[in-house]
Copies of this chain bind each other. A is one copy, B any other.
Amino acid sequence: MKREAVLRELREVFGPRGVLWEAHHLLLYEYDASIDKGRPDFVVFPTSTEQVVAAVRIANRYGLPIVVRGAGTGLSGGAVADQGGLMIVTTRMRRILEIDPVNLRAVVQPGVVNLAVSQAAAAYGLYYAPDPSSQKACTIGGNIAENSGGPHCLAYGVTTHHVLGLEVVLPDGEVIEVGGAALDWPGYDLIGLIVGSEGTLGIVTKAILRLLPQPEAVVTLLAVFDTVDQASEAVSAIIADGTIPGAIEMMDRTAIQAVESAKRCGYPTDAGAVLLIDVEGLTEGLEDLAHHIARICEHYDAREVRVATDPVERERLWSGRKGAFGAMGRLAPSYYVQDGVVPRDQLPRVLRRIQEIGQRYGLVIANVFHAGDGNLHPLILFDERDPEQTRRVLEAGAEILRACVEAGGSLTGEHGIGLEKRDLMPLLFSPADLEAMARIKAAFNPDNRLNPCKMFPSTKMCLETWSRRRARMAEPIRYRAGPPEMPPEEELWI
Which residue numbers of A lie inside 8 Å of B, CB to CB? Answer: 100-104, 124-126, 147, 149, 153, 157-158, 160-161, 170, 174-178, 180-193, 195-197, 201, 212-214, 216, 236, 239-240, 242-244, 281-286, 288-289, 341, 343-345, 373-375, 408-414, 416-417, 421, 425, 428-430, 432-437, 439-444, 455
Contacts and interface: CB of A to CB of B under 8 A. Distances in A.
29 contacts: A101-B240, A102-B236, A104-B239, A147-B189, A149-B184, A157-B183, A158-B184, A161-B161, A174-B432, A174-B436, A176-B430, A178-B433, A182-B343, A184-B410, A184-B414, A186-B410, A186-B417, A187-B437, A188-B196, A188-B201, A188-B441, A192-B193, A213-B242, A214-B242, A281-B281, A282-B286, A282-B288, A439-B444, A440-B443
Contacts of A193: 188-189, 192-193, 440
Given A183-B158, A414-B184, A440-B188, A344 B239 contact: no
A302 B440 CA distance: 52
Contacts of A176: 430, 432-433, 436
A416 B436 CA distance: 24
A432 B281 CA distance: 43
A334 B439 CA distance: 44
A160 B192 contact: yes
A283 B453 CA distance: 53
B413 A184 contact: yes
A174 B437 CA distance: 13
A375 B184 CA distance: 10
A183 B153 contact: yes
A343 B429 contact: no
A344 B421 CA distance: 43
A186 B416 contact: yes
Given A176-B430, A411-B186, A437-B187, A157 B147 contact: no
Contacts of A186: 196, 410-412, 416-417, 421, 425, 428, 455
Contacts of A435: 174
A127 to B, nearest CB: 11
Contacts of A417: 186-187
Nearest to A436: B176
A421 B439 CA distance: 28
Contact of A191 (B181, B182, B192): B192
A240 B104 CA distance: 8
Contacts of A157: 157, 161, 183
A287 to B, nearest CB: 10
**Centre residue among A102, A153, A190, A283 by max chain B CB count within 10 A:** A102
A160 B436 CA distance: 19
Contacts of A242: 125-126, 213-214, 216
A183 B436 contact: no
B177 A433 contact: yes
Contacts of A281: 281-282
**Centre residue among A174, A188, A191 by max chain B CB count within 10 A:** A188
A182 B409 CA distance: 7
A414 B416 CA distance: 31
Return the 5 tightest CB-CB contacts between A and B, nearest first. A192-B192, A284-B285, A213-B242, A439-B443, A443-B443
Contacts of A409: 180-182
Given A103-B374, A160-B192, A187-B417, 9 more contacts: A102-B236, A147-B189, A160-B184, A183-B373, A184-B412, A186-B417, A188-B197, A188-B437, A213-B242
